[in-house]
A = this chain, B = another copy of it.
Amino acid sequence: MRGIGPLFVDLYELTMAQAYFLEGYEKEAVFSTFVRKLPKNRNFLIACGLEDVLTFLENFKFTDNDIDFLHTLKVFKDDFLDYLKELKFTGDVYALKEGTVFFENEPVLEVKAPILQAQLLETYILNQIHIQTLLATKGARVCISSKEKVVVDFGSRRAHGSDAAIKAARAFYIAGMKATSNVLAGKIYNIPATGTMAHSYIQVHKSELSAFENFAAIYPETILLIDTYSIEKGIKNVVSLAKKLGDNFKIKAIRIDSGDIIEAVRVVRKILDREGLYNVKIFVSGGLDEYEIEKIVKLNAPIDGFGVGTKVIVSDDVPYLDIVYKLTEYNGEGKFKKSKGKQTVPFQKQVFRFIENGIYKEDLIGLYKEVLPGMPLIVKVMENGIRTDDGRESLEIIRKRCQEEIKKLPDELLSNTKSSKQYPVNYSPSLHKIIVDIKEGKY
């Protein structure tokens, strides 16, 4: 959420920060944010969340009230709290641009800053990059499965809290959805807001037909929800309304939110066509996700658009990513962990991408300063606490990038299940040598 400050932090970051302060550890560290392993059914990820991280860093400031609260914990010394009070973020941030496709072990965001500062950012950076990347990826899968049909976000009510709802609307828009039902997200991000009527509206009217009639009088080009009592009844009332209004019937679409969708839309399409209502589109919602949409599209059901909600906004099949923020460098020295399953690779990094005939072919993870022939994906987005030009991107640019990125993915990665052929991500020769040296204990 906007307005979240540096107190959104795990306490141990602050206890460590005080220890660095008292011990005099003040050199620059690099912390790397990456996903350790692509989860089930995921062949790629979409980078998202950078904008909020940069805004957080620009406004990084403990309030007097925050400091007073920290005093009450009786863990922090006055000297340290005085230091915190004046603290600003003065470091550099390197990141994939939002909307970029990436894979496991590839850094999505790296912070280079005095260790005390860099340490304090872990909780918020992970919290935001995690949820936004998770949802941009989920949204991209949904849009890919819909094969160019319209997809709209209806998920707010069952998102995990208000922040997730708002960030989801943005992530889904980047991923290719056309609009959101959430008005606040529409306002904050200038995303089209959409929506028509719920069952309750129909229910307070003396009949479904009178509800349709009244609603159409106010919103002539609306979408009518036809399954409050039964789909048969609902479509009959749409036809009655069309006859009654004649040329003034401008209804854009009908929506079905329950029951056996495929069977229902076929019947409804037939009735609409029989009545000459060719222009009335069919919009469906209710329990949809990429798997369901893929099925519907394959069966060639006459559906023009999808409203997606719960299963998409909670990323039901994969509700979290194994994303981490790890120390990889301190004072120019490489830092790494050898613990089983949780190994890390030292040093600041770059990702180099190789393209063949317009399709992504291979990535190499290298040292940041290495020069390799592939396209370097990580850019400096903040320098000495100030955004660079690369750190300022409009939502439309990011959205366009994401659409182009998806077009460059090898076909097999577009599957909703795990592709048998994983996208090749390798280490550059220099980084590979370091990894081997670590394994052999030479490092």
| Tally of this chain's copies | 2
* A162 contacts B160, C-beta separation under 8 Å: no
When C-beta atoms are compared, the residue in chain B nearest to A70 turns out to be B183
* B126 contacts A19, C-beta separation under 8 Å: no
* A11 contacts B183, C-beta separation under 8 Å: yes
What is the minimal beta-carbon distance from A108 to any residue of chain B, in angstroms? 14
Q: Assuming the A-B contacts A131-B161, A319-B314, are A12 and B197 also in contact, with contact meaning beta carbons closer than 8 angstroms in the complex?
A: yes
Q: Assuming the A-B contacts A201-B16, A319-B319, are A10 and B195 also in contact, with contact meaning beta carbons closer than 8 angstroms in the complex?
A: yes
Interface stretch (choices A238-246, A338-346, A393-401): A338-346
Tell me the complex Cα distance, A126–B341, Å: 39
Q: Which residues of B contact A124 (CB under 8 A)?
A: 162
* Interchain CB contact (< 8 A) of A19 among B73, B165, B218, B326: B218
Q: A198, A222, A310 — which one has the most chain B CB atoms within 10 A of its CB?
A: A198
A295 on the B face (CB < 8 A): no
Q: Which residues of B contact A12 (CB under 8 A)?
A: 181, 195-198
When C-beta atoms are compared, the residue in chain B nearest to A336 turns out to be B203
* A228 contacts B337, C-beta separation under 8 Å: yes
* Interchain CB contact (< 8 A) of A127 among B23, B158, B204: B158
Interface residues of A in 138-182 (CB under 8 A from B): 154, 156-167, 181-182
* A161 contacts B163, C-beta separation under 8 Å: yes
Tell me the complex Cα distance, A319–B314, Å: 6
Q: Assuming the A-B contacts A195-B15, A228-B339, are A127 and B181 also in contact, with contact meaning beta carbons closer than 8 angstroms in the complex?
A: no
Q: Which residues of B contact A215 (CB under 8 A)?
A: 19
* B310 contacts A320, C-beta separation under 8 Å: yes
Tell me the complex Cα distance, A319–B321, Å: 14
What is the minimal beta-carbon distance from A340 to any residue of chain B, in angstroms? 6
Tell me the complex Cα distance, A22–B217, Å: 10
Interface string of A117-134 (1 = CB under 8 A from B): 001001110111011001
What is the minimal beta-carbon distance from A6 to any residue of chain B, in angstroms? 9
A371 on the B face (CB < 8 A): no
A235 on the B face (CB < 8 A): no
* B320 contacts A8, C-beta separation under 8 Å: no
A75 on the B face (CB < 8 A): yes
When C-beta atoms are compared, the residue in chain B nearest to A223 turns out to be B12
Interface string of A312-344 (1 = CB under 8 A from B): 001110011101011100100001011111100
A439 on the B face (CB < 8 A): no
What is the minimal beta-carbon distance from A265 to any residue of chain B, in angstroms? 16
A193 on the B face (CB < 8 A): yes
Interface residues of A in 363-393 (CB under 8 A from B): none
* A182 contacts B8, C-beta separation under 8 Å: yes
Q: Assuming the A-B contacts A214-B19, A319-B314, are A11 and B164 also in contact, with contact meaning beta carbons closer than 8 angstroms in the complex?
A: no
A254 on the B face (CB < 8 A): no
* B7 contacts A187, C-beta separation under 8 Å: yes
A258 on the B face (CB < 8 A): yes
* B122 contacts A157, C-beta separation under 8 Å: yes
Tell me the complex Cα distance, A259–B338, Å: 12
Tell me the complex Cα distance, A22–B10, Å: 50
Interface residues of A in 38-90 (CB under 8 A from B): 66, 69-70, 73, 75
* A327 contacts B193, C-beta separation under 8 Å: no
What is the minimal beta-carbon distance from A81 to any residue of chain B, in angstroms? 13
* B10 contacts A183, C-beta separation under 8 Å: yes
- Return 26 A-B CB contacts under 8 Å, by A number: A1-B162, A7-B184, A8-B162, A8-B184, A10-B183, A12-B181, A16-B200, A19-B201, A29-B200, A73-B193, A119-B201, A122-B198, A124-B162, A128-B161, A128-B162, A130-B157, A159-B160, A159-B161, A160-B161, A160-B163, A160-B319, A161-B167, A199-B327, A199-B337, A203-B327, A258-B342
Residues of A within 8 A of B (CB): 1, 3-5, 7-16, 18-20, 22-23, 25, 29, 31, 66, 69-70, 73, 75, 115, 119, 122-124, 126-128, 130-131, 134, 154, 156-167, 181-184, 186-187, 193-201, 203-204, 214-215, 218-219, 222, 227-230, 258-259, 310-311, 314-316, 319-321, 323, 325-327, 330, 335, 337-342
- Extra A-B contacts (6), CB below 8 Å, given A16-B198, A158-B320, A160-B319: A4-B184, A11-B194, A69-B186, A70-B183, A123-B156, A127-B156
